[in-house]
Chain A
């Protein structure tokens, strides 16, 4: 099957997401669409999948134009899509999710769940995907959920399978397994498109790479003839520094001391299991690990957003285990949250109001009853210029800012005061490459002024580049404490998956 996108232009209010894009896909090859966040990759694939309607352009299937008015049309034409955020109903079983939309029925519309189970098992066995049809999605690890999505797509006899950021939430081991599955699909005569922003993966797996920037295709390259930095330059439009500049660190006294910390969630599950570690002044400690292994709950407990069930947290020797978020803030702890729109910002308030969101009760802005808005405004204006936050005014709603600028607001707010400890969770998630550079440099700058820094990130490259010491979390425990300069990404990946490298000489589980 030969699929062609010709002259696709898709507009949203205020922005052109896809600008006259031309692309061809063939079965039997792997095409990689690469570009930074907001370049238009997902939009393009959503047009292909019938979820969006393009203003201009055509889709041609084996030479003749087709029109997809809904995903049902695209599915019928043989296009399958595995979205970045899985389209799985968490409370349903695997079988229920897979057959939704093509349910086998009996009398009176009754659901033939046995047939559904059979259908799942058949595809799962054929492609070696190992799925239990009766497992409930929300109990399954992310790698398995992805396989459910793949079965969904194959059950509907997809000829071209599109994957949107498939490796974002996988461990290195699962990533390797995923690429094996891709090879199996190719061998079975399908075509694969995968969208990513990870340069290494594109180079290792793709047969062709198409680079998008600001909605346009800026070039197609052959992975055999190109390098990471060349692609990065095409993505951003200028040379990009991929390696973080870091002076060797000189750690001082212990600032954060965590002992035997355990956190239990509302359902009684132990999410953080007797964790102990410490962070010194002038040092960056990174916590690596796949999403869902307790990092979120750990950060919540360290910042006071969640009660711990057991254990102690001490800052400069002082016990803060039961301190409120405000008290911790006052003691000099900054928190850049992992979900900026849910936690870090109030979208409906202005940029200025957000810039004082965690400090509004300080004497400089409030006497307890009345707010001194002029003072707050002055501080906001100076932060906007110092941190280069791109906004037409300090009074517009924060929700109108781009992801990168929103993150800058949070970073400006949190890092612009004297700190003892800085906690940053997923600091560059959903942020454009230019802002990523900026945020990374600010984190190192914090470290160099003597603050203790704790970074939690699921991006292995990021956390290995920034950290002076690297911890790995798996199933709520810290399973490794290594020096990232002398440990390979592969070994860290094994820890993230709960295994041990064969040569465990430099990894000691505490």
Chain B
């Protein structure tokens, strides 16, 4: 084998070859779906951006062109591979596929794209905040499976305290609950060295059981403990006047603005402060930090409690930011979707934000679809966010590497 060969065709490992092939197949399959399913509805679809402007896409031709492009891309991937452009191509393909899907669903009518995007941002809030809580914990080396329980518990606390004493007290109560549940996670996993996944699960059962119990025992007899007016969206001056984006991003409740802040602060702190350096150190190699005098245990406690507070705000979003009440199991798995967002976002706040927006979009689409007549049974639409998560975790994530020391109790001795 001459050296000339090795220069021209770089060697790739067997794993990379397999991954490249599945990406190629996925593209081809998407193309076929586009051709036969999305391309069978004539008619124009109106994407309403603002009242005066509707962006029209002819559903059928769009779908057919998309199908050809996808199959071509898929073939190219199978034959040659896109190397480092693969993820970009895949994302663009997925995005265009979604647009074609929307066109198919809305063909013959129109729907408010702006409204859907606004919904996306709103609905992604608990996932963003849950994900930030997850990132804070995992980066410090503590696995937090209990995000679901924290969101649920805080939702309950927020609902009851909010009904009795007003939305602001409700938010504080929710934060307190989040911190309290975090404290359980911290104490059991740090001090008593319990397996973090087990504690996380126990907290989830506990929160589910306790909130359902209290909802059944107390709230059914006292409905006045469970009704409040959620916070109204606030239009930010100037910014909300920008067409489309102004409505989508800057005419939202305080929860949304808090979520932006949280992402921003988390990103800056993790990478540009002393606290961030030490946090990342104890998540990757706590022994190294320990040998340099960093108090690993105290920092872990602190971060887990802060994470609890963030999750608390996330939980408060349900009663105080959205529906004005608490129902049993109101979170229904969003905490686990937040966990998936953490992994998808590679433990970075901005990455988790993009994942959360994807899931928010899935929910927003599902809501819109139930208004449009698509012929898809409602159950399948309701499945959408979960299916998307599944696909994302299986396809995009695979073997990702989190903070190396996550899950292992710190042994000073």
Do the two chains bind?
A: yes
Q: Please tell me which one of the listed residues B16, B278, B288, B413 contacts residue A268 in the complex, with CB atoms under 8 A apart.
A: B16
- Return chain A residues, CB-CB under 8 Å to B284: 89-92
- Return chain A residues, CB-CB under 8 Å to B287: 87
Contact between chains at A72 and B293 (CB < 8 Å): yes
Decide yes or no: A89 and B11 within 8 Å by CB, A75-B292, A105-B274, A310-B1 being known contacts: no
- Return chain A residues, CB-CB under 8 Å to B290: 51, 71
A291 close to B (CB within 8 Å)? no
Q: In whole angstroms, what is the CA distance A262 to B16 when docked?
A: 16
A309 close to B (CB within 8 Å)? yes
Contact between chains at A266 and B277 (CB < 8 Å): no
**Measured between C-beta atoms, what is the minimum distance from B208 to chain A in Å?**
33
A366 close to B (CB within 8 Å)? no
Max chain A C-beta neighbours (<10 A), residue from B15, B288, B413: B288
B88 close to A (CB within 8 Å)? no
Q: How large is the interface on A (under 10, 10 to 19, 20 to 34, 35 or more residues)?
A: 35 or more
Q: Please tell me which one of the listed residues A100, A270, A274 contacts residue B292 in the complex, with CB atoms under 8 A apart.
A: A100
Chain B residues bordering chain A, tally (CB within 8 A): 31
Contact between chains at A52 and B13 (CB < 8 Å): no
Max chain B C-beta neighbours (<10 A), residue from A71, A96, A102: A71
Contact between chains at B285 and A89 (CB < 8 Å): yes
Q: In whole angstroms, what is the CA distance A260 to B399 when docked?
A: 30
| A61-92 interface code vs B (CB 8 A; 1 in, 0 out) | 00000000011100100000101000111111
Contact between chains at A75 and B288 (CB < 8 Å): no
Decide yes or no: A100 and B277 within 8 Å by CB, A266-B13, A270-B11 being known contacts: yes
Q: Please tell me which one of the listed residues B11, B14, B281, B293 contacts residue A70 in the complex, with CB atoms under 8 A apart.
A: B293
- Return chain B residues, CB-CB under 8 Å to A307: 13-14
Q: Please tell me which one of the listed residues A71, A109, A274, A309 contacts residue B291 in the complex, with CB atoms under 8 A apart.
A: A71
- Return chain B residues, CB-CB under 8 Å to A105: 273-274
Interface residues of A in 288-317 (CB under 8 A from B): 307, 309-311
Q: In whole angstroms, what is the CA distance A462 to B287 when docked?
A: 31
A503 close to B (CB within 8 Å)? no
Decide yes or no: A103 and B277 within 8 Å by CB, A265-B13, A268-B13 being known contacts: yes
Interface residues of A in 92-118 (CB under 8 A from B): 92, 96-97, 100-103, 105, 108-111
- Return chain B residues, CB-CB under 8 Å to A97: 288
A436 close to B (CB within 8 Å)? no
Q: Please tell me which one of the listed residues B1, B11, B277, B399 contacts residue A96 in the complex, with CB atoms under 8 A apart.
A: B277
Contact between chains at B11 and A92 (CB < 8 Å): no
- Return chain A residues, CB-CB under 8 Å to B10: 268
A264 close to B (CB within 8 Å)? yes
Q: In whole angstroms, what is the CA distance A89 to B281 when docked?
A: 7
Q: In whole angstroms, what is the CA distance A274 to B11 when docked?
A: 12
Interface residues of B in 13-66 (CB under 8 A from A): 13-16
Contact between chains at A101 and B292 (CB < 8 Å): yes
Q: In whole angstroms, what is the CA distance A111 to B270 when docked?
A: 10
Q: In whole angstroms, what is the CA distance A270 to B399 when docked?
A: 20
CB closest residue in chain A, given B1: A260
Q: In whole angstroms, what is the CA distance A236 to B328 when docked?
A: 69
Q: In whole angstroms, what is the CA distance A266 to B276 when docked?
A: 29
**Measured between C-beta atoms, what is the minimum distance from B274 to chain A in Å?**
4
CB closest residue in chain B, given A52: B413
Q: In whole angstroms, what is the CA distance A97 to B10 when docked?
A: 34
Q: In whole angstroms, what is the CA distance A501 to B6 when docked?
A: 29
**Measured between C-beta atoms, what is the minimum distance from B23 to chain A in Å?**
16
- Return chain A residues, CB-CB under 8 Å to B11: 262, 264, 268, 270, 309-310
- Return chain B residues, CB-CB under 8 Å to A83: 291
Q: In whole angstroms, what is the CA distance A52 to B290 when docked?
A: 12
| B67-101 interface code vs A (CB 8 A; 1 in, 0 out) | 00000000000000000000000000000000000
Q: In whole angstroms, what is the CA distance A89 to B279 when docked?
A: 12
Q: In whole angstroms, what is the CA distance A432 to B390 when docked?
A: 50
Q: In whole angstroms, what is the CA distance A52 to B412 when docked?
A: 8
Q: In whole angstroms, what is the CA distance A149 to B280 when docked?
A: 19
Contact between chains at A111 and B274 (CB < 8 Å): yes
Interface residues of A in 110-132 (CB under 8 A from B): 110-111
Interface residues of B in 277-313 (CB under 8 A from A): 277-278, 280-281, 284-285, 287-294
7 further A-B pairs in the complex, CB-CB below 8 A; given A51-B412, A72-B293, A268-B12 = A87-B287, A100-B277, A105-B273, A109-B273, A111-B277, A266-B16, A310-B1
What are 6 pairs between A and B in contact, CB < 8 Å? A75-B292, A87-B285, A89-B285, A100-B278, A100-B294, A307-B13
Query: B interface vs A, CB < 8 Å?
Result: 1, 6, 10-16, 272-278, 280-281, 284-285, 287-294, 399, 412-413
Query: A interface vs B, CB < 8 Å?
Result: 49, 51-52, 70-72, 75, 81, 83, 87-92, 96-97, 100-103, 105, 108-111, 152, 260, 262, 264-266, 268, 270, 274, 307, 309-311
